[in-house]
Amino acid sequence: MTATWAGQRARPGTVGTGTIRADAIPKSRGDFAFSSDLYADGMLWGATVRSRYPYARIKSIDFSAAAVMSGVRCVLTHHDVPGRNRFGLEIRDQPVLADDAVRYVGEPVAVVAADHPEIARRAAEAVAVEYERLDALTDPRLALSGVGPDLHDGGNVVAHHRIRKGSAEPAADVVVRGVYHVGTQDQAFLGPESCLAIPALDGGVELYCSTQWLHIDQDQLADVLSLPLDKVRLTLSGVGGAFGGREDLSVQAHACLLALRTGRPIKMVYDREESFFGHVHRHPARLEYEHGASADGCLVYVRARILLDGGAYASTSRAVASNAGCFACGPYEVPNVSVDSYAVYTNNPPCGAMRGFGAVQSCFGYESQMDKLAAELGLDPVEVRLRNAVGTGSAMATGQRIDGPAPVAELLRRVRDMEPPAPADSSTCDDVLMPGGAANTTHGEGVRRGVGYGVSVKNICKSLGYDDYGTARVRLSISGGEPVAEVHTAAAEVGQGLTTVQAQIVRTELGVRQVVVVPADTRVGDAGTSSASRQTWISGGAVRAACEAVRDRVLRIAAATLGAELSELWLADECVRSERTATDVPLAELLGSTNVDETRVFRHRQTFPLDPETGQGDGHVAFAFAAHRAVVDVDTELGLVRVVEIACAEDVGRAMNPPAVEGQMHGGIAQGLGLALMEEVQVVDGYIQNPSFTDYLIPTTLDMPPVRLSILEIPRDDSPYGLTGVGEPALLSCPAAVVAAIRDACGIDITRIPVRPEIIAGCA
Amino acid sequence: MRLSCTVNGQRRDIDVCPAESLLFALRERMGLPGTKNACEQGECGSCTVYLDGVAVCACLIAAGQAEGGDVVTVEGLADDEGPHPVQQAFAESGAVQCGFCTPGLIVAVHDVLSHSPRPTDAAIREALAGNLCRCTGYEKIFDAVRSAAVRMSAEGKRR
């Protein structure tokens, strides 16, 4: 089913056409400036002193040795924070520089500026911090039970969300139970945290940085620096990936503090090890599930208890826990629901946003349960899902009716019906494509193939009553005799292709060929975050609204100039066309030196908080769905897995830039495969064991199998062009499908991701 | 200490500290930040450059090791006629998202195709296993390699 958008011809570079990114050639030539590439005359390098302990009281900080080192310009501690020494996305609970205590290993305690990064690093090492160690609380179950110290005022439970629907004591013919675990995943964006802060003549600061949301950084920084908002000016520089890991502040406040103190530009760049300590991770989760069903496989109830370890500070834990709860039943009709989702403080590394945002963890739980249920009933795993799949009009666990497209069954059928990959054949298959890869551990002996499925759901846009909006300014002028449209938003291009989509929208709406996307900065109104798969919807909507306003003004100018009725004029081919007189007036002629400049704000429909006791309510703007089929070869003796193929079907509403949509899906699938098989930040007693790409493995070209996509375009009636968000769904049920395939291949129960070889080989 | 070498065809004489990597010297002392700093321990390939015709991770090479050497970076692959076919293929295949891995991959693919003009899919996977990409899942990178191979053989271009 492919929708066509009425009235739109497929001009190059417009909405729906495959459009080459404007930044692709500069990025390929090495000419594109990422935040780590920036340079200013006279700049100094910043470095961070970090806590060595998961929990300790700071008794003293002695930086006298560091301060006198040759080339060191400045050392700052919490005493030097002029404003509020706290930041945070939901609760401002995290110190910019630790004051009384440190609550995780790697927490910033002091910052240094020096002439050379190596001098800065050595000076940071020379800062002597005297700690009084405290007993660390690193077990989230203990934190939930109230045992151990309160790490923050108000106790260690950051969030508890309840969902209660239907009967409390429903009767079911079949009951399956399971306890599942999801490890800590890292976003592992390739571009390290970095920025350049330049002190300004007016006492403010110009900050060039990588972030997902300029205005929320600005808001927090203004409070930290004790400056009015207009003196904290941010410009987005090239962002080397984000995936949720750039929602929280990292280098920004430190660089600004150093710049304002030294009066010199400050560059900060983390190396990979520091990056593992410098941003939040995906919450590790423990999920207890009980599913009850009728004998014919229809779900009667779901009970779930989900515990997320939020680590030392709140970040987005409340919203992640809410999402984990809201989507704990998956895309299924469940009449009776009892879900409790919690996030707690511990002395582990802070956790927050990562692609999928709570829905990934739940999905591994509920999809594992659906397979268990199918096995219990002797049903095909796809069949049991089809019998319970939601559709338009169905109620989610929160009671919210799905009023948009919900083609869950169709997506599942699509991946099921794809041609299966050819069977493993060691005589024709390159050994690097066998389990174990280049290690050459098998020529096919002990290798079994398995197939697994997963389906998933997640909210698109911000939820629960949040007043979410985006702002765009569009300016049409004549330059060199040609119309040029300039589009300006604060929306963060993090790699997803947003700047290209903005230009496509302008070309579509104004019919002009030349579009300039101005760098995102805080001179224009808030765009909200490049998260929650919302930015094309929200900032795209704002760009379209601004274009409509520009078009309206142009046509009014034309009507007055030509003495025509407004209703008989329209814009096409860089002309104003009159229907009645069949004449074209070129925009260049009509506008001359007149600029048409309009700014508009776009909001999605209102949502509402959920009832605190029952979790019922219209909390979400939209739901997006995906289905996966994974085919794996498993070396059952060594426990090694080769993913042979992943198929994914997703409804995208409208593919604004089809290759970019495919790219989002490919990338999401890769991160899902990583979570299923190899990616885990291993934390022992609060210490990260593997902060490097040597020890934290992300999928390589040899790990990724061929991927097959099926993209549906069922237009929504409440979004620009009918689109829905595409950033997250392709990740959600990928881990569940991979694990289901491994279970299918070797017949063992697997309850934890990433799956370790010793579990498969049965020697754990 | 003094470092003299050729970078992208130009003779460079610069001061470096003994502990600095070739990556740092290129990015911070020669004004060539196109070569990227993603892991700085030789795992991700984002800093791949040619040193005397061999593709290496610039983060693992001490700047002093380039003394008298011939370095080619991603900035040195295009010519006056425009981007190199590998660069063009990456852009047109949708192989670029955030772009942080792209410069290293461009050099790595350039190297692969100069040795093996029409690599098999398995050979492509094996050859690029040292270059991490977090955005694309590699599918469109493989498309770009195949496309670049066709372009280069059509243009009779090996380097």
Per-residue pLDDT tens over the stretch B113-127: 999 999 999 999 999
Q: Are A14 and A21 in contact (CB under 8 A)?
A: no
* Stated length of chain B: 159
- Rounded to whole angstroms, the Cα distance separating B23 from B29 reads 10
- How far away is chain A from the Cα of B65, in angstroms, using its nearest Cα? 19
**Residues 77 to 96 of B: which have CB under 8 A from any A CB?**
77-78, 83, 86-88, 90-92, 94, 96
Given an 8 Å threshold on Cβ–Cβ distance, is A701 in contact with B46?
no
DSSP helix/strand/coil, A105: coil
B72, B90: one domain = no
Residue A126 carries which side chain, given as an amino acid letter?
Answer: A
Residue A429: what pLDDT? 66
B65, B10: one domain = yes
Sequence-separated (6 or more) residues with CB below 8 Å from residue A311: A104, A280, A281, A345, A346, A347, A348, A349, A350, A351
Sign of the alpha-carbon dihedral angle for A282, A214, A26, A12 = positive
Residue A597 carries which side chain, given as an amino acid letter?
Answer: D
Residue A7: what pLDDT? 44
Given an 8 Å threshold on Cβ–Cβ distance, is B91 in contact with A497?
no
Residue A8: what pLDDT? 44
Measured between CB atoms, which of B41, B135, B142 is closest to A693? B41
Among B76, B105, B123, give the residue marking a domain's end.
B76
Beta bridge partners of A643: A632
Residue A428: what pLDDT? 63
Domain extent, residue A273, equals: 35-134+192-239+246-278
User: What digits encode the pLDDT tens for the residues A467-485?
Assistant: 999 999 999 999 999 999 9
Given an 8 Å threshold on Cβ–Cβ distance, is A190 in contact with B78?
no
**Residues 160 to 219 of A: which have CB under 8 A from any B CB?**
187-192
- Rounded to whole angstroms, the Cα distance separating A223 from A127 reads 27
Does the beta carbon of A440 lie under 8 angstroms from any beta carbon of chain B?
no
Q: Return the CATH number at A48.
A: 3.90.1170.50
Q: Return the CATH number at B95.
A: 1.10.150.120
Give the residues of chain A that fall short of pLDDT 70: 1-9, 426-429, 764
Share of chain B above pLDDT 70, in %: 98
- Rounded to whole angstroms, the Cα distance separating A708 from A418 reads 9
Sign of the alpha-carbon dihedral angle for B156, B47, B131, A493 = negative
**Domains in chain A, number:** 3
Domain extent, residue B23, equals: 2-76
φ/ψ bin of B33: left (φ > 0), alpha (ψ from -120 to 50), beta (otherwise): alpha
Measured between CB atoms, which of B20, B106, B135 is closest to A241? B135
- Rounded to whole angstroms, the Cα distance separating A483 from A655 reads 27
CA torsion, ordered B6, B10, B11, B14, to nearest 10 deg:
-90
Q: CB atoms < 10 A from the CB of A433, how many?
A: 19
Residue A437: what pLDDT? 85
Residue B155: what pLDDT? 84
- How far away is chain A from the Cα of B68, in angstroms, using its nearest Cα? 24
Mean pLDDT of all residues in B99-120 = 97
Domain assignment present for residue A709? The answer is yes
A473, A594: one domain = yes
Among B35, B59, B76, give the residue marking a domain's end.
B76
φ/ψ bin of A189: left (φ > 0), alpha (ψ from -120 to 50), beta (otherwise): beta
Among A603, A627, A660, give the residue marking a domain's end.
A603
Residue B13: what pLDDT? 97
- DSSP readout, A148-206? S--SSTT-SEEEEEEEEES-SS---SEEEEEEEEEPPP----SSPSEEEEEE-TTS-EE
- Rounded to whole angstroms, the Cα distance separating A31 from A583 reads 44
Among B36, B56, B76, give the residue marking a domain's end.
B76
Q: Are A292 and A255 in contact (CB under 8 A)?
A: no
Residue A758: what pLDDT? 94
Given an 8 Å threshold on Cβ–Cβ distance, is A707 in contact with B137?
yes
Q: Are A515 and A487 in contact (CB under 8 A)?
A: yes
The pair of structure tokens assigned to A260 is: 């304002």
Residue A585: what pLDDT? 94
Interface test with A, best of B105, B134, B146 (most A CBs within 10 A): B134
Interface test with A, best of B72, B135, B143 (most A CBs within 10 A): B135
Sequence-separated (6 or more) residues with CB below 8 Å from residue A747: none
A690, A651: one domain = yes
- Rounded to whole angstroms, the Cα distance separating A599 from A176 reads 55
Measured between CB atoms, which of B75, B125, B134 is closest to A188? B134
Sign of the alpha-carbon dihedral angle for B144, B146, B147, B149 = positive
A303, A369: one domain = yes
Does the beta carbon of B110 lie under 8 angstroms from any beta carbon of chain A?
no
Domain assignment present for residue A397? The answer is yes
- Rounded to whole angstroms, the Cα distance separating B108 from B96 reads 15
- Sheet with A336-345: strands ordered across: A157-165, A336-345, A299-311, A285-293, A174-182, A752-753
